A = this chain, B = another copy of it.
């Protein structure tokens, strides 16, 4: 059998019959360029925000080329002068004037530099450098700067929280499990519970910074660098304040772990903000009434002035989905990619940028909500009900040697007794309790005190005043280390 060879080219030209694939598809172009493809392919629309880091990296790179003898002192000086002028143009309100061929930030900056200082010198800047290692370097520099800002934002939230916790440590409130009142706690203990999660976020952010702060520059397109001596990358890394250099040039150009790690950080921090916001939204309901949101972070209604919608907290809760979605975007993109650079990797930047923007929005808003939240101790106190002290009654017996499981049953019987008598548990007298267990003595009624209850929990991390202030001390010390 003879195969009928139908080359696409012929196939296309024969499409004049009216039913060919080319016509169906639209025949957008006659020449070799599909205008849609240019837009599809270009990254300048989003990667231009790294202009500063691209220029910073190029200056340091030029200096290293001088070290290798590939550029003269004069050439480096010209390149730096030119790059400074490019930077000036970026700083104007409208930014650098882009041309159609500027498909990414690297081409744009090099094109403009060439216009300013001429191709003779500008054409040497990229010696041994490829866009593969250049973009990886730019993203790391840019993200490192953003992480430093985010760390400040997170520290501010933590400082605001611990400051409140210290000042308001005397306020008691019901502690919940399953959203059912369980045991009395300090309001500050609740604040510090959330701060503990954010402190882990701070630890994680500092670890992410280490993962980010590795220099891929000098890896070339894939196989490494032909002109650097073994030591040059270390010198360049120090020049750009990187902690270390990447270990393998193929990996270096296709590694996006640091982006996934950062987005995971954002996801976890976002989840913590969402959990805290859920608490705030519930505590701010008319029915709970424990906290009031500042007007600055809620919207009212001229029609229903008593209605104050906790918009800020709802957005903080809702935006948690965004980070997690971005994590999936990046992970799905990475899954199954062959080594080394593939164009798919260009899809890493928009989710990264969105996470950075989201968190730089969320953290200051969270700090603002935290600082301005009204606390209503009288409402909280009113919600402390006697049966929340049943555990304390059991603990009383434990202290007198009764096995824990038995004390549990005795306390249960006391609660039922109060119920039968139609009184609060705390109204039971020594005489009421005596028949329930021989270990009860007259001092048992001291159990009926929410403050005593809270104070009795004095182990590290517990809700007694001492333990809460100890938490404040430790957290403040931690924050000092971060600042």
Contact = CB atoms under 8 A, between A and B. Distances in A.
A55 interface: no
Contacts of A70: 398
Contacts of A3: 170-172, 377-378, 381
Given A282-B338, A347-B322, A456 B226 contact: yes
Interface string A463-474: 110110011001
A86 to B, nearest CB: 17
Contact of A184 (B223, B327, B338, B346): B223
Given A123-B403, A275-B337, A336-B278, A41 B311 contact: yes
Contacts of A40: 312, 315, 361, 365
Interface string A230-262: 111110000000000111111110110100110
A25 to B, nearest CB: 4
A223 to B, nearest CB: 4
A92 interface: no
Interface in A428-477: 449-451, 454, 456-464, 466-467, 470-471, 474-475
Given A309-B343, A462-B224, A159 B286 contact: no
B286 A181 contact: yes
B408 A190 contact: no
A370 interface: yes
A74 interface: no
Given A32-B295, A377-B3, A387-B304, A331 B196 contact: no
B412 A303 contact: yes
A183 B305 contact: no
A267 interface: yes
5 contacts: A3-B171, A20-B163, A24-B371, A176-B222, A274-B335
Contacts of A456: 226
A329 interface: yes
Contact of A321 (B309, B331, B454): B331
Nearest to A336: B336
Given A168-B11, A170-B4, A343-B314, A248 B404 contact: no
Contacts of A459: 218, 224-230, 232-233
A248 B185 CA distance: 12
Copies of this chain, complex-wide, total: 4
A387 to B, nearest CB: 5
Given A230-B467, A314-B178, A338-B179, A367 B247 contact: no
Nearest to A456: B226
Contacts of A20: 163, 167
B311 A343 contact: yes
A461 B246 contact: yes
Interface stretch (A46-54, A93-101, A124-132, A140-148): A124-132
Given A12-B372, A175-B222, A321-B328, 10 more contacts: A1-B451, A3-B172, A8-B371, A8-B374, A126-B404, A195-B248, A219-B462, A226-B395, A278-B338, A325-B330
